[in-house]
Structure 1
Amino acid sequence: MTADALLPELTARAVRAAHRDADGCPCEAGVLAVRPDATVVRHAGAVAKAHAPGTDPGPLALRVATAARLPGILLPPLAPHPAPLHDRLVTLWPYGAPVDPDDPDAAPWEAAATLLARLHRSPAPPGLPPMRGPAKAAQAIARLVAAAPDHPAAPPVLRAWATLPAWARAEAPMPGPGRLCHGDLHLGQLVRHPAPDGPWKLIDVDDLGAGVPAWDLGRPAAWFACGLLPPEAWSRFLAAYRAAGGPAVPATGDPWAALDTAARALTVQTAALAVAKATEAGRPVDEVEQAVVDACDRMSRRPPPLADAPPK
């Protein structure tokens, strides 16, 4: 079913969730996202999310239940179970105020790091599936190969991909024992709840699972290594994670040996998606996208493990 056909019924579910216990309703509403992997609508204080076609209901139910058990870390759901809607599964969530993309100086790096540390220290419930980060990286590579096999940026990205260990390419199980991981951490995965100035919470449980906790630090580590995240912001993030007892890196000293694989994998994923999206849109890669491709080229010439310092 197309997103356009899905929207009326998805919106109706958000309306019912918003008004179930409300004394009054400001009726702020709108479509928050329409992507192949998710359609998301808001009505007042409720958000309805239609997950990707083919989503397995069992693992999604476990992920939603995990969010319900950790309301101080993850945004808790409004409904305890996913519900079918045509060929999709729908989950219901309270609305939270997102990070302001126009105010990078106010980016909640410390809050993100502290929430991650607390998540990684929480026990993974029995039966929770693996964290889906490596699988998403592999999907990004598949999209690159399908959309832009002849693009001049494709070879360095694919060479860098080939240097990664099999688990980071979703070709082998992740090394264990696994910890509870978010699987797709970036600043768009944080909201304040209650809006507009409640505490920060992590959202989006689609990739939640047991795995290598360093993966959740991989994107900011990659941005730092590529020169896209200022050293001061990276230092704040890392210090907050350590202060909260995060297990992904040593408590002191150089963290890079623990972060190397994840940072490389997230760099490759970012570059693959950038090149694929640019090709699909019929435009050249921009300066930031080219910087990530260039990082892949450097990585392919210097296979892991890295030396004691992150790449320049």
Structure 2
Amino acid sequence: MPRTPLLTDLTARARTTAHTRARTSPCPCGATTTLTDRPDGTVVRHEDTVAKAHAPHTDPTHLTARLTTADHLPGILLPPLDPTPLRLHDRLVTCWPYGTPVDPEDPDAAPWEAAATLLAHLHRTPPPTPLPPMRGPLKAVRAITRLRAAGPHPAAAPVLRAWTSLPAWARAESPQPDTTTLCHGDLHLGQLVRHPATDGPWLLIDVDDLGVGVPGWDLARPAAWYACGLLPPDEWTRFLTAYRAAGGPAVPATGDPWPALDVPARALTVQTAALSIVKAVTAGRPLDEVEQAVVDACDRMGSVPPELTPGFAK
């Protein structure tokens, strides 16, 4: 596949930044790797530097506020090399130090405790600068929009029913109930790296969805996986216990966490199911076992009237 002008120039930016940090002249030497090349974000790495072209139409004021927050919280979030984004091919671009990601081939080494502890510290930290709302619900809306655009599919109906059972704030149709708590907005294990590589402390990355909102959203993906039977109970317990031990405010310190997690977990289940169907349609294949499990969970959710579910709010 031919390289786009954006990818070519983003690679050049990563090389220049890497060699500036190393105090050497820019040159094409050293391996450059494309980590992600999608319409909503392109990421390349050269040596110890990562350059990211953010999604088109990213708000520069919001992104700058998010970068400033990461710059002020170096023990929680990976700080950018420069808290001011630049423009490249009409895309906002940021540069970051490289960190070692979670190894997807070694699930037993998944840093659940580290992820939970970082989230708890993030949720307990006052935002160092005014921030927009956390973008988690908007990502769920985008998933539903893609599902509807993908065309008819037999698994879509239960997902859309489950979507309509969610309260308005979880569908980004009204403000979130919490407007002060600092949240990541898209927490999963791919959002952690060790920095300095390869044995530094774990830090959270990707500030595109960072903002103020409902902290339970950051716990919702592992909670949803656990509820769907996709995350072993001991791993969920490790995560929840570590979050509580670090004083995380999203759930009570003891007792049942689900009244606080129910709506976010249902929303993430719907989002995951919608994207699973889109991927299957795009690839022209049936749903796999995991994808069918989240669709089945949506089917169960949609059968319960929303006013009878825990955490229901208009």
Shorter-chain TM-score category?
A: over 0.9
Aligned to 1:98: 101
Shift of 1:3: 6.7
SS in 2 for 1:20: helix
Does the Cα contact within 8 Å between 2:69 and 2:129 map onto a contact in 1?
A: no
User: What is the rounded CA distance, in whole Å, between the counterparts of 1:97 and 1:303 in structure 2?
Assistant: 44
SS in 1 for 2:182: strand
User: What is the rounded CA distance, in whole Å, between the counterparts of 1:18 and 1:9 in structure 2?
Assistant: 14
Whether 1:85 and 2:91 are equivalent positions in the alignment is: no
Shift of 1:59: 0.2
Aligned to 1:43: 46
Aligned to 1:118: 121
Map 1:1-312 onto structure 2 (within 5 A): 4-22=4-22, 27-148=30-151, 150-304=152-306, 305-306=308-309
State which drifts further: 73-82 or 230-239.
73-82
Does the Cα contact within 8 Å between 1:38 and 1:51 map onto a contact in 2?
A: yes
Over aligned residues, Cα RMSD in angstroms? 1.7
| Deviation string, structure 1 residues 109-157 (Cα, Å, up to 9, x no partner) | 0000000000001112443100000000000000000013x10000000
User: What is the rounded CA distance, in whole Å, between the counterparts of 2:179 and 2:33 in structure 1?
Assistant: 42
Normalising by structure 1, we get a TM-score of 0.95
Residues 5/177 of structure 1: CA separation in 2 closer, same or farther (3 Å cut) = closer
User: What is the rounded CA distance, in whole Å, between the counterparts of 1:243 and 1:74 in structure 2?
Assistant: 20
Residues 15/167 of structure 1: CA separation in 2 closer, same or farther (3 Å cut) = same
State which drifts further: 172-181 or 235-244.
172-181
Does the Cα contact within 8 Å between 1:78 and 1:93 map onto a contact in 2?
A: yes
Residues 303/98 of structure 1: CA separation in 2 closer, same or farther (3 Å cut) = farther
SS in 1 for 2:117: helix
Which amino acid in structure 2 is aligned with residue 113 of structure 1?
Answer: A
Normalising by structure 2, we get a TM-score of 0.94
Shift of 1:48: 0.3
User: What is the rounded CA distance, in whole Å, between the counterparts of 2:49 and 2:117 in structure 1?
Assistant: 26
Does the Cα contact within 8 Å between 1:3 and 1:39 map onto a contact in 2?
A: no
| Deviation string, structure 1 residues 182-235 (Cα, Å, up to 9, x no partner) | 000000000011111110000000000000000000000000000000000000
User: What is the rounded CA distance, in whole Å, between the counterparts of 2:290 and 2:117 in structure 1?
Assistant: 28
User: What is the rounded CA distance, in whole Å, between the counterparts of 2:117 and 2:140 in structure 1?
Assistant: 25
User: What is the rounded CA distance, in whole Å, between the counterparts of 2:191 and 2:109 in structure 1?
Assistant: 15
User: What is the rounded CA distance, in whole Å, between the counterparts of 1:93 and 1:134 in structure 2?
Assistant: 26
Q: Which runs of 5+ in 2 are unaligned?
A: none
User: What is the rounded CA distance, in whole Å, between the counterparts of 1:42 and 1:219 in structure 2?
Assistant: 27
Residues 62/191 of structure 1: CA separation in 2 closer, same or farther (3 Å cut) = same
Residues 83/266 of structure 1: CA separation in 2 closer, same or farther (3 Å cut) = same
Shift of 1:303: 3.7
State which drifts further: 261-270 or 122-131.
122-131
Does the Cα contact within 8 Å between 2:219 and 2:261 map onto a contact in 1?
A: yes
SS in 1 for 2:126: coil
Does the Cα contact within 8 Å between 2:244 and 2:253 map onto a contact in 1?
A: yes
User: What is the rounded CA distance, in whole Å, between the counterparts of 2:139 and 2:163 in structure 1?
Assistant: 13
User: What is the rounded CA distance, in whole Å, between the counterparts of 1:284 and 1:174 in structure 2?
Assistant: 36
SS in 2 for 1:76: coil
User: What is the rounded CA distance, in whole Å, between the counterparts of 1:145 and 1:189 in structure 2?
Assistant: 28
SS in 2 for 1:156: helix
Shift of 1:29: 2.1
